[in-house]
Structure 1
Amino acid sequence: MAVTKKINKSTLEAPRIPDHLETLTIEDYEMQDKQVFENGRFTQGTIANHSADKVSFDRVVFENVLFDQVNLERAEFTDVVFNRCDLSNVNFRDSILHRVQFNNCKMLGFDLSTSTMRNVKFDQCNAQYSVFRFADMKQVCFAQSNFDKADYYEAKFSMIEFNESGIDQAQFSGTKLTGVDLSTCRFQSIGATLESLQGCIVGSEQVRGFAYLLGVKVKEDYQ
């Protein structure tokens, strides 16, 4: 059985953002199918009621942007950074993300189902109830974030890291966690099959969270 390798600084590539970006005004744009945005920075605004297919973003930064009722299926994000954005309930299903970072973002119910992700980092994000069903993820880092009740059903993992993140009641059924280190994560229980859990790494204090899968009752020790 293949073992999932750990990410290190030489393998997780950061977004390649130019030193100087044109400031773009959100209100000046109505996203349309196959539209291309590149070399720009969106700040302090709201993208509302946008629905488009195959939109491309290349070397773009979003800062303090609220995404409201946004559906961008089959979008492409290359060298993109989201800083302090609200992406709650946004639909990015079946999209491609390469060298993308989400920093301190609110992402409740964020949907990346069936997406392909390479060199992606979620850092200090609140992404409860986010959806990654059937996603293909390689070199992805979930760092100091909240992914409680997230759905990773039958996702494909390669070189994945969960660092000091909440994953309580997250769903991993059908997802092979071989070599994935969950020892720094916070959870009481997760949804997974025994086959999915084979080879994953947990801390001794987390063993109780897996006992229910085995039908085992853990007896408290008393001094």
Structure 2
Amino acid sequence: MTNLFKIQQPKIPQNLISASFEEWKEDRYFNKCIIKDCAIKDCAIIGEEIERLKFDQVVFENVSFVDVNFRFVELVDVVFNKCDLSNTEFCNGSVHRVEFKHSKMLGLNLADATLRNVVLEECQANFASFSYAELKQVKFLQCAIQSGDFYECQLDKVQFNQCNLDEANFEGTSLNGIDLSSCEFHELKVSAEKLAGCTVSEEQAIAFSRLLGLNIKE
């Protein structure tokens, strides 16, 4: 079974202190480029552009990211719960033991990022970009990823469970070992030569056979 693999959960300490991003900016309470061991809740982070920022053992809850560019961000043991990350720039980031739960991630940019032990659960991730990213031990659970971009990704132990992948782009990406049978899509952009080893439903197989140029006789 392709979906039988374990995900390491974020290591979150108990009794995290409450903090704000503005507080960190003003007095560097945590460290120059590290925000660590805290909970950031019920706020907005607006117009920030910082490279190589690290979040370590941090919980974000009900936080909106607006015009935020955290290129080369490092996320280790982080939880995003009920957050809005739409159009946020995490490109070239390192994402390890991270959970995105019930969050809005429209157009989130994770291009060229490395994801390890990551779960996205019930997230709105339409138009999100994972192009050229490396995903290992990653689960997408009941997510909307319409028009998502997985162009030339490396997928290793990646699960898509009951996701909407309509018009997602997997061109240049090997789907060997990937199970799409529980997912919904009318159209998928894939490279025919990289479909071998992909598990699909009977209905999906018909759609893929047309992609391969076969004529289906009713």
Following TM superposition, the consecutive aligned residue runs of length 4 or more in structure 1 with deviations greater than 2 angstroms are 4-8, 25-34, 215-220
Give the structure 2 partner of residue 211 of structure 1: 209
Which of 95, 119, 132 is equivalent to 1:121? Answer: 119
Give the structure 1 partner of residue 85 of structure 2: 87
Bigger Cα displacement from structure 2, 208-217 vs 68-77: 208-217
Give the structure 1 partner of residue 10 of structure 2: 15
| TM-score in terms of structure 2 length | 0.93
CA distance 1:48–1:153, change in 2 (3 Å): same
Shift of 1:206: 1.4
CA-based RMSD: 1.8
What residue ranges of structure 1 are gaps of 5+ in the alignment? none
Contact 1:111–1:130, Cα closer than 8 Å, also in 2: yes
Shift of 1:196: 1.7
| TM-score in terms of structure 1 length | 0.91
Which of 53, 56, 59 is equivalent to 1:55? Answer: 53
Give the structure 1 partner of residue 94 of structure 2: 96
Query: AA paired with 2:9?
Result: A
Counting only pairs closer than 5 Å after superposition, residues 35-46 of structure 1 correspond to structure 2 as 35-46=33-44
Question: Does structure 1 residue 165 correspond to structure 2 residue 169?
Answer: no
Task: Determine helix, strand or coil for the equivalent of 1:207.
Answer: helix
Counting only pairs closer than 5 Å after superposition, residues 103-118 of structure 1 correspond to structure 2 as 103-118=101-116
Contact 1:187–1:209, Cα closer than 8 Å, also in 2: no
Bigger Cα displacement from structure 2, 209-218 vs 73-82: 209-218
Contact 2:2–2:179, Cα closer than 8 Å, also in 1: no
Report the Cα distance in structure 2 between the residues aligned to 1:34 and 1:198, rounded to whole angstroms: 47
Corresponding pairs, count: 215
Report the Cα distance in structure 2 between the residues aligned to 1:7 and 1:136, rounded to whole angstroms: 19
Bigger Cα displacement from structure 2, 69-78 vs 190-199: 190-199
Task: Determine helix, strand or coil for the equivalent of 1:97.
Answer: strand
Task: Determine helix, strand or coil for the equivalent of 2:190.
Answer: coil
Give the structure 1 partner of residue 153 of structure 2: 155
Contact 1:55–1:72, Cα closer than 8 Å, also in 2: yes
Contact 1:30–1:50, Cα closer than 8 Å, also in 2: no
Report the Cα distance in structure 1 between the residues aligned to 2:119 and 2:128, rounded to whole angstroms: 15
Give the structure 2 partner of residue 201 of structure 1: 199
CA distance 1:154–1:57, change in 2 (3 Å): same
Shift of 1:34: 6.1
Query: AA paired with 1:195?
Result: E
Task: Determine helix, strand or coil for the equivalent of 1:215.
Answer: coil
Shift of 1:27: 3.3
Report the identity percentage. Answer: 38
